[in-house]
Amino acid sequence: MRDFECRDGEMIIGGLSATEIADRYGTPVYVTDEEALRNNFRRIHKAFNKQMSTRIHYACKANSNMAILKILEQEGACIDAVSLGEVLTCLKVGYSPERIMYTGVNVSNEELEGLVEAGVHINLDSFSALRRLASISIDAPISFRVTPGIGSGHHEKVITGAKNSKFGVPIEDIVDAYREAMDLGFKPKGLHAHIGSGGLSVEPFLDLMEILLGVVSDLKDELGLKLEFLDMGGGIGIPYRPNEKPMDIEELATELTTMVKEESEVRTLAVEPGRYIVADSTVLLTRCVDVKRTSRKNFVGVDAGFNTLIRPAFYDSYHHVVIANKFGRACTERFDVVGPICESGDYLARDRVLPEPEEGDLIAVYDTGAYGFVMSSQYNSRPRCREVLVDKGEIALIRDKEDMDDIWRHQTIPARLLG
């Protein structure tokens, strides 16, 4: 969790006061600090590449705003994409096909055809996808996603590597998958696995790498296949709570690269951070519109709900909250921070100690750059909000807010109902 400057009782983001930003662009609004974003990418890139050649594939499902993607393209990032839409967006931003790796699940023929046309690397998830891709093109660069049988993550909904997962080829079938791919005429280049999202411990990643290296050895012994890269998919978490310790990226990079260099002939590693790069670069600013006290609970009602940030309601996730225009003031009472959606589960934070809240106060929700706007919706017919980018006192709009025309745009009332 980042520390922010306090200036005259105001929270400062990228050189600007939160109040100034909210007054100019309205609320709710996502605010991304470009310097923090670049620094996060540079930190993980340096940690790994000083040990061995490592491609940092930004997991763009975390935040696919085109300005964010362009900043990371400038930094030299590659891309982990999970849909054809993400692939096409990254190509539009300026990434070359060679910098994009697609890892999908339950992929349609239409999507496979689009991926082949785009010329990106494809991580295959099943025998079915392999066979259907073979009917389209055997020239596509491929690898397989293996289900390693171990999982890690901050919530059961984000654990991806367990034996009962919908993702990947079961480890007991993975050699057969490569054998069939080679028989069909493909030339597999690498191996991919992902155990889950939000981990802060190094050990699960080391366990995963040990499994991957075992598969590398099996492929060489049984098929004579020498892989060019290992792709240890994402999952690197961030500390969302105060005093929570961050992942030791230097230790992770050192331990993983040492294993790869000592136990295989693979000379290129790929990692897929999303949350680690973008989460703490962004805060959500939302306005207090109501303060309600009851015999059991106190509530701060704000203009952002789970239509704006769904993680607390969906994953029971913790996000730190402060009153940005009373930054640093003593906290006096406990409140739930709740939104305008007509659902009991519409909350952003529960049981938080805050300074005395008033209508008009500005609430800042930390660490919302990952799975924030990208998971927002128009539920309750509420248009989605703005996103802005700040950098050393400069500010730019990177997504305008929607209006009701955006909600109505693709709806049609049949003529027979209008008579």
Catalytic positions, written as ranges: 342
Cα–Cα distance between 238 and 218 in angstroms, integer?
34
Helix (H/G/I), strand (E/B), else coil: 70: helix
Terminal alpha carbon distance of the chain: 58
Distances (CA, A) of 44 to 50, 80, 253: 10, 15, 8
Distances (CA, A) of 125 to 132, 193, 197: 12, 10, 18
Output the CA torsion sign for 285, 4, 373, 69. Answer: positive
Q: At a CB cut-off of 8 Å and minimum separation 6, what does 229 contact?
A: 55, 143, 189, 190, 191, 266, 268, 269, 270
The first and second tokens of residue 323, run together, are 């009153």
Burial (CB < 10 A; 0-12, 13-18, 19+), residue 206, is middle
Cα–Cα distance between 43 and 247 in angstroms, integer?
12
Q: At a CB cut-off of 8 Å and minimum separation 6, what does 221 contact?
A: none
The first and second tokens of residue 51, run together, are 């040990």
Exposure on the CB side of residue 179, measured as CA atoms within 13 A: 10
Is 153 within 8 Å of 198 (Cβ atoms)?
yes
How many residues are given for the chain?
A: 419
Helix (H/G/I), strand (E/B), else coil: 58: strand
Cα–Cα distance between 268 and 29 in angstroms, integer?
39
Q: At a CB cut-off of 8 Å and minimum separation 6, what does 50 contact?
A: 253
Write down the residue that tokens 């191996």 correspond to.
191
Cα–Cα distance between 40 and 34 in angstroms, integer?
10
The first and second tokens of residue 134, run together, are 């073979």
Cα–Cα distance between 387 and 25 in angstroms, integer?
9
